[in-house]
Amino acid sequence: MNAPGPVGIALVDKPAGLTSHDVVARLRYHLGTRKVGHAGTLDPMATGLLVIGVGQGTKLLTYAVGLDKTYEATIRLGVATITDDAEGDETGPRRPADGISDDQIAAAVEDLTGDILQVPSAVSAIKVNGQRSYARVRAGDDVQLEARPIRVARFEVTGTRRQADGFCDIDAVIDCSSGTYIRALARDLGEALGVGGHLTALRRTHVGKWSVQDAGTVPKRDAPKAAEDPSASPVVLRGLGEVAGGLLPVVPVGEADARSLRFGQMIHAPEASSPEDAGELSAAVGPGEDLVAIVEPHRGRLRPATVFPA
């Protein structure tokens, strides 16, 4: 019988130049398993926190995808690009932005803060008639995406640099809901100020309560596999019980209930459960902080929605 492969959640700090898929591929090789996925794509130019699921840990990614995120961004005012970032060709003429006042910038930023509707960047991965939007743009199609509700809890300008060539670079920290496109915020800020704008740098610093400060690095191509030299591996796998407890309410279960849940059977709900909890998912955690299942209330009992084998 084959030994179980690595299992857990890893936090990694993605460098510029790699796609999120590149990071997943690197970890598949390094950890010696095909079962690796991530919760939330970062563009190649972006750096920062990627939440990686390994083995059974991939089942938890669905609960991490919707977490709020924090970014550090640099926005250049003075010209728009086809991709809304520095990797795309400029569209339209350059316009002097060095004369825009801090008050004008603050007013435009305020209008992009709170609960707003945002049209995603046309080069996003959103599917249009079964095809990725960015693929249609590259094929020369004129893609018009529908606006979506998002929340920008904080859009704080931390620095403004007016350049000799007429550009104005803005540094900002942005707290936002999942599904927010920072490139689109840069585009919309430039449009609101009448000069065009695009994103020149982006770093994701937080996903929910997770911080990039706690992340490891992406293994180098020539690094030894984790199984060959575990002490030298830059990848730290967090236990599923620990991670699930940070994502969902925890229901402690004993060995007998843990065994029942893993067989797909319902168990009696704790006395603390109430009708108001109906539909709320919880993490059933057994002895030793072992994640047993994601459970949901059902007629006074708990039934497993996702099971994690021992």
Catalytic residues: 43
H-state helical runs in the chain = 20-31, 61-64, 102-111, 133-138, 182-192, 240-247, 255-262
The residue with tokens 């550090």 is 72
Task: Residue count of the chain, please give it.
Answer: 310
What tokens does 163 get?
A: 């350049």
Residue 74 CA, distance from chain mean position: 19
The residue with tokens 């796609």 is 19
The residue with tokens 């825009």 is 100
Give the Cα separation of 150 and 140 in Å (integer).
Answer: 28
Distances (CA, A) of 247 to 66, 198, 244: 10, 34, 5
Element (H, E) at 127: strand 127-128
Contact assessment for residue 281 and residue 296, using Cβ atoms and an 8 Å cutoff:
yes
Amino acid at 63: Y
Contact assessment for residue 278 and residue 232, using Cβ atoms and an 8 Å cutoff:
no
With a CB cutoff of 8 Å and minimum separation 6, the contacts of 155 are 109, 110, 112, 113, 172, 174, 185
Contact assessment for residue 266 and residue 238, using Cβ atoms and an 8 Å cutoff:
no
